[in-house]
Amino acid sequence: MFESIRKYSKLIMIPLYGLIILGFVFSGVQGYRGIKSSADAVAKVGSHSISQAEWDAAHQDEVKRIRSTTPNADPKLLDSPEARYATLERMVREKVWQEAGQDAVRVVTDARLAREIEAIPAIAAMRRADGSLDVEAYKNLLKSNGLEPAQFDARVRNELLLRQNEQAVGRSAFATKAVTDATLNAFFQRREVQLVYYKPADYLAKVKPTDAEIQAYYDANKGQFESAESADIEYVVLTMEAVRNSVTVSEADLKTYYDQNAQRLAAKEERKASHILIAVAKDAAADVRDKAKSTAQALLAKARAKPDSFAELARKNSQDSASATQGGDLGYFSKGSMVKQFEDAVFALKKGEISELVESDFGYHIIKLADIKEPKQASFESVRDKLELEYKTQQAQRKFAEVAEVFSNAVYEQGDSLKPAADKLKLEIKQASGVLRKPLTKSSSGLSQPRVLEAIFNADTIAKKQNTEAIEVAPNTLLSARVTKHVPVRVLAFDEVRSQVHDKLALEQATALAKKAAEADLATWKAQSTPPKLPEAMVISRDAAPKVSSVVLDAVLRADTSTLPAWVGIDMASQGYALARVTQVMPRKDADAQAGLQERAQFTQLLGRAEAEAYYQLLKQRYKVHINAPKPGTKPVAAADAG
């Protein structure tokens, strides 16, 4: 229910990725704070500048972090201009709160720092059975992420300070029950409304654009009738598979690896058992359980008196219908296949032995162990191919960063051809024709990713036919491309697009007619003393299942209802026009007590966020925040909102 408040609330802007979380401290080999560049600052917070290089590095780290937690995240979305700008906004926000924290002289104690670090799942998993931390594994984890313990401590401490500074404001928010109820009741108000739609399609038959009108529309809107910019390219892709295929391994190394993994490769011990079950529910009354236990004890005595009769006893008495017909035979199984109580009993028996009564959630079991299959070591020959793949994969994982650097250097240093890099690393040079600057569909090759397209259609790349930089298009996957032919944007000739121009113009004219008809009806119906005959009324609200579009819902709920019935005209752009007649305003449906408590808690949270956002806006002014990079969809400006 409260999602609708988040959807409609304009009290706070929520960035695409939000603030940094602790997992971010592991992302990237180089933290963006350590990168310096002489390039112009893309943003400034007081005397502190954020360079293009810092921005690029921070966004790469952000993408890596998201991919590590959400492998199926859409690469196109992650690297979109909006996502990149969200990273910059987050960097600015982080710096603002950092400055505020320094002014407020807030600190994170060593004890708090230790608790937070120990709570990180990757580190918590390194605890030994006695509770102590495997320090060597901890240092190796940090080293694999390009960090020393002191650096990591400083980074986590900084993240905690940022969170502490922002939460100090947000958590101070307080909303009385009266204020909360008044706000929520107004927001979730219900309205009864009659709706009439005026669809452009219903008016298309009434419009007939003339040749002159079509030509004039084309001349005034040539930008809408351009060919797509495209390029023919060649490209190479470095993958983990390619690195693995380059790894060579000798028979001696494989046999050593086999010996090192002998225990893991051994088959599990299997046991064959039969049982007799006297079923009883675990929550059955005591007298019922006692009766079942007595029955089982009597059968146990018979089984032990005549062990050879076990199968016959099971056929006649076992209440496990699946195995009873087989004399109780359960076949061979290894550890992990049965419930714990049953498994423990089976693996404690010797061949031919009959157990004591075993109680499980199913009832009482009498178990006889029929056979034991000792684990056998798999021969080297039988697992050779599997071992070779494992070994090469491990070596490739260790080697990938080194090979990636070779790849990146090769495509940069021999920038006029991909052949040197391909030859050095035994990679295939692939071809792609008609790659669109604005692709209509996503490509599995990575060529449709914004960063790749930006590099391919870079002016220097096109003019000099230079290789692009090595671009990460997926985890452990780098791509470099080179343009062989470029087809620039051109305005299509009138004759090529005449039918498209006609259809666009006709739709616009039909939409205008729909709006005109709606406005005429509105004037007529408002003047009538008796209500017009309209479609059946419906009740709509923000907390009910949607019956109308968000545009219509907003317009109806924002309509002035001081006098009823209230009329409102709703412009639906290319979808036409709608007239709404609001006939009744009703209070929201009563929420139950539990839902009411949850709503008030969530409202207080939203209020806290709003107060934190308002305070952040004041801090931006205090620290003279300027974002020089243009926000996607806007023209470049000297200063911009970082929120």
End-to-end C-alpha distance for the chain, whole angstroms: 26
Determine, yes or no, domain membership for 184: no
Q: What is the pLDDT of residue 502?
A: 97
At residue 611, the pLDDT reads: 77
Name, in order, each residue with C-beta under 8 angstroms of 434's C-beta and a sequence gap of 6 or more.
230, 231, 232, 487
Choice between 157 and 469, residue whose per-residue pLDDT is larger: 469
Instruction: Write the DSSP assignment of 456-481 as a string of letters.
Output: HT-HHHHHHTPPPPPEEEETTEEEEE
- Looking at 104-113, 234-243, 534-543, 586-595, which range is the least confident one? 104-113
Question: Which pLDDT band holds residue 58 (cuts at 50, 70, 90)?
Answer: confident
272 and 364 fall within a common domain: yes
| Whether residue 181 has pLDDT greater than 90 | no
Is pLDDT at 632 greater than 80 in this prediction? yes
Question: Which of these ranges, 379-383, 496-500, 535-539, 598-602, has the smallest mean pLDDT?
Answer: 598-602
Instruction: Say whether both 167 and 28 belong to one domain.
Output: yes
As for how many domains the chain has, the answer is 4
How much is the pLDDT for 547?
Answer: 85
pLDDT at residue 56 tops 60: yes
Instruction: Give the range among 194-203, 351-360, 421-430, 599-608 with minimum mean pLDDT.
Output: 599-608
Q: Is residue 413 part of a domain?
A: yes
Upstream peptide bond of 565 is cis (omega within 30 degrees of 0): yes
Comparing C-alpha atoms, which of 191, 182, 19 is closest to residue 91?
A: 19
Sorting pLDDT into bands at 50, 70 and 90, what band is 643? very low
Do 544 and 413 sit in the same domain of this protein? Answer: no
Instruction: For Cα atoms 535, 537, 538, give the angle at the middle one, nearest 5 degrees.
Output: 125
459 C-beta neighbours (distance < 10 Å), count = 7
Helices (DSSP H) in 367-443: which residue ranges? 380-413, 419-425
In the numeric block, which tokens belong to residue 512? Answer: 């205008």
Q: Of 49, 32, 166, nearest to 98 (Cα)?
A: 166
DSSP 3-state assignment of 177? helix
| pLDDT at residue 33 is higher than 70 | no
Share of the chain above pLDDT 70, in %: 86
Task: Kindly state whether residue 215 falls inside one of the protein's structural domains.
Answer: no
Q: Radius of gyration (Cα) for the chain, nearest Å?
A: 36
Whether 217 is covered by a domain: the verdict is: no
Range list of H helices, 528-570? 550-558
- On the question of pLDDT at 376 being above 60, the answer is yes
Distance of CA 258 to the CA centre of its chain: 39
Asked whether residue 161 falls in the same domain as residue 118, the answer is yes
Between 222 and 438, the higher pLDDT residue: 222
Residue 554 lies in a domain: yes
Residues 479 and 389 in one domain: yes
pLDDT at 312: 95
Q: Does 91 lie in the same domain as 124? A: yes
Are 366 and 394 found together in one domain?
Answer: no
| pLDDT at 165 (0 to 100) | 63
Mean pLDDT of 401-425: 94
Does the CA dihedral 208-210-211-212 come out positive or negative?
negative
Residue 32 has pLDDT above 50, yes or no: no
Q: Of 113-117, 303-307, 490-494, 606-610, which range is least confident?
A: 606-610
Residue 7: CB partners within 8 Å, gap ≥ 6? none
Of residues 531, 578, 518, the one with CA closest to residue 550: 578
pLDDT at 37: 41
Max avg pLDDT among 18-27, 129-138, 175-184, 479-488:
479-488
Which DSSP symbol is given to 348? T
CA distance 136 to 558: 62
577-586 and 625-627 beta bridge pairing = unpaired
pLDDT in tens, 451-480: 899 899 998 899 999 999 999 988 889 999
210-220 mean pLDDT? 96
Phi, psi dihedrals of residue 30, rounded to the nearest 5°: -120, 120
Domain co-membership, 534 together with 571: yes
pLDDT band at 491 (very low <50, low <70, confident <90, very high): very high
Can you give the three-state secondary structure of 571-615, one letter per residue?
ECHHHCEEEEEEEEEECCCCCCHHHHHHHHHHHHHHHHHHHHHHH
- Which tops the pLDDT comparison, 94 or 597? 94
What's the mean per-residue pLDDT of the chain?
A: 83
∠ CA 590-11-60 to the nearest 5 degrees?
Answer: 120
Dist. CA 409–CA 419, nearest whole Å: 13
Which pLDDT band, with edges at 50, 70 and 90, does 168 fall under? Answer: low
Asked if residue 575 and residue 549 are part of one domain, the reply reads yes
Prediction pTM value: 0.50
Specify the CATH number for the domain of residue 299. 3.10.50.40
Angstrom distances, CA of residue 28 to CA of 68, 82, 205, 246: 11, 21, 60, 26
The pLDDT value given to residue 25: 40
pLDDT above 90 (res 580): yes
pLDDT band at 261 (very low <50, low <70, confident <90, very high): confident
Report the alpha-carbon distance of residue 337 to residue 326 in Å, rounded.
Answer: 19
How far apart CA 553 and CA 558 sit, in angstroms, is 8
- 257 in a domain, yes or no? no
pLDDT tens digits, one per residue of 345-375: 999 999 999 999 999 999 999 999 999 998 8
Mean pLDDT to the nearest integer, 526-545? 87
Residue 193's pLDDT is what?
Answer: 95
pLDDT in tens, 312-356: 999 999 999 889 999 999 999 988 889 999 999 999 999 999 999
**Residue 593 belongs to a domain:** no
Tens digit of pLDDT for each residue in 83-108?
888 889 888 888 887 777 666 556 67
For 444-456, the pLDDT digits (tens) are 778 988 889 989 9
* Ramachandran angles phi, psi of 287, nearest 5°: -65, -35
pLDDT of residue 173: 61
With cut-offs at 50, 70 and 90, classify the pLDDT of residue 71: low
Which of 154-168, 531-545, 548-562 is modeled with the greatest confidence? 548-562
Measured on CA atoms in the order 55, 56, 61, 67, is the torsion positive or negative? positive
How far apart are the C-alpha atoms of 42 and 88, rounded to whole Å?
9
Say yes or no: 393 and 452 in one domain: yes
Whether the per-residue pLDDT at 257 is higher than 60: the answer is yes
| Per-residue burial over 517-526, b = 16 or more CB atoms within 10 Å of its CB, e = otherwise | bbeebbeebe
Statement: residue 171 has pLDDT above 80: no
Q: What value does the mean pLDDT take over residues 580-590? A: 89
User: Would residue 214 count as lying in a domain?
Assistant: no
Q: Are residues 546 and 566 in the same domain?
A: yes
Query: Of 563, 586, 609, which residue sits at a domain end?
Result: 586
DSSP string, 45-82: ETTEEEEHHHHHHHHHHHHHHHHHH-TT--HHHHTSHH
Check whether residue 12 and residue 129 sit in a common domain.
yes
pLDDT for 31 beyond 50: no
Q: Which domain holds residue 395?
A: 230-251+382-487
What are phi and psi for residue 357, nearest 5 degrees? Answer: -65, 135
* Structural domain ending residue among the three candidates 462, 487, 512: 487
